[in-house]
Copies of this chain bind each other. A is one copy, B any other.
Amino acid sequence: MRGPVVIFGTGLLGTSIGLGLSHRGLEVLLSDPSPSALSVAVDIGAGRPLHEQPGVWPELVVVAAPPDVCARVVADALERFPAAVVVDVSSVKGAILRELQELSAKNHLDLSRYVGTHPMAGRERAGAVSARGELFNAMPWVICPHQGSGQGAVQVAQNLGLDLGAVLSRFSPEEHDDAVALVSHLPQMMSSLVAARLQEAAPHALSLAGNGLRDVTRIAASDAGMWVPIMAANAEPIVTILHQLHEDLIKLIGTLDAPAAPGASLAMAKVISAGNAGQARIPGKHGGPAQPYAWLSVLVDDEPGQIAQLLTEIGEIGVNLEDLRLDHSSGRNAGIVEISVLPAKLEPLIEELTVRGWKVLQ
């Protein structure tokens, strides 16, 4: 990309994009309805205020506004900058496009210069103050041209993701919304519903919480401000999947209401094995096939450097670490480190770690 690039919306995504492009030497101009949000982004080095250079002819406009105002900002940008490609970075695509098409029906818009995109990065914190130019490194960035998107516009949209180090993939807007409804919105909904059941739990009961509950409810800590617009904009695909899950839930409740009835054991087994089958389809490391790795658990004292020491020794032993998790279930000043390795390496590693004095639990 050559630039200049105009960015509307200096939250986490907009500011990170500005930082990343500025670091590559492109000219970046920023705008935000909140003067203080804009000010933080400028101070961080994400770009200069657009209002200081109102006559700019940008190569690209990035709309990083919330999904409920996104389409209008895209429409305004298409009109104000008649030579620019305009992309958005919302996590829903169909609703944005539909709203743009409605706006264009009233006041013709050149939608050939619009390409919807979705960078899938940046979960933990919101706001410009947490922005980093490297946010998109090695993360997926989905490009969703609509049927009227011009080839040149699609190229510029792709260059944006590539220049920021992302891994590109192409989806139609509808395919995208169905996909994220399944792999992102469904787990969020169910995580929140499960976690909500804990609101009135006795502390004594919660003391038995293990890693299973922690894993299932981890994303229940997500921010309502971010999720309400997503739920509203992608409601239909989400509801379709929730209806299917609802059917399975009703069947399960019926089975458990009569657990000794003929066929009940098989029905219960099918609930678990259907979950096995679905879970096994999730891609493994680097998008490859899901690998059946072998796991071991090592007890470490909660002293600084213990985990680093363990990993260093595993490296010395010559075994590659495929995955790593910490288990917080224990009630004493010790941590459990779960390590996954190739199955063939499991036994030699357990032996060698035990010889070196590590407490291998399993």
A residues with a Cβ closer than 8 A to B are: 120-125, 130, 132, 134-135, 137-140, 142, 167, 169, 171, 175, 178-180, 182-184, 186-199, 201-224, 227-228, 231-232, 235-236, 238-239, 241-246, 248-250, 252-253, 256-257, 259-260, 264-265, 268-269, 271-287, 295, 297, 299, 302, 304-305, 307-308, 311-312, 314-315, 320-321, 323-326, 328-336, 338, 359-362
Q: Max chain B CB contacts within 10 Å: which of A130, A187, A333?
A: A187
Q: Which 5 A-B pairs have the closest CB atoms?
A: A192-B275, A198-B278, A308-B311, A220-B275, A179-B205
- Closest residue on chain B to residue A257 by CB atoms: B239
A195 to B244, CA, bound (A): 12
B195 touches A279 (CB 8 A): yes
A183-B213, A228-B269, A286-B333 as given contacts; A279 in contact with B198, CB under 8 Å: yes
Which one, B139, B283, B295, B320, contacts A304 given CB within 8 A? B320
B264 touches A196 (CB 8 A): no
A276 touches B182 (CB 8 A): no
Query: Would you list 5 pairs from A and B whose C-beta atoms are within 8 A, ordered by A residue?
Result: A122-B362, A167-B330, A232-B268, A284-B328, A325-B326
A246 contacts which chain B residues (CB < 8 A)? 246, 249-250, 253
A217 touches B275 (CB 8 A): yes
A29 CB to nearest chain B CB (Å):
24
Quickly give the copy total for this chain.
2
- Closest residue on chain B to residue A142 by CB atoms: B208
A213 contacts which chain B residues (CB < 8 A)? 183-184, 187, 282
A130 to B347, CA, bound (A): 10
B201 touches A182 (CB 8 A): yes
A92 CB to nearest chain B CB (Å):
12
- Closest residue on chain B to residue A307 by CB atoms: B311
Which one, B190, B243, B278, contacts A199 given CB within 8 A? B278
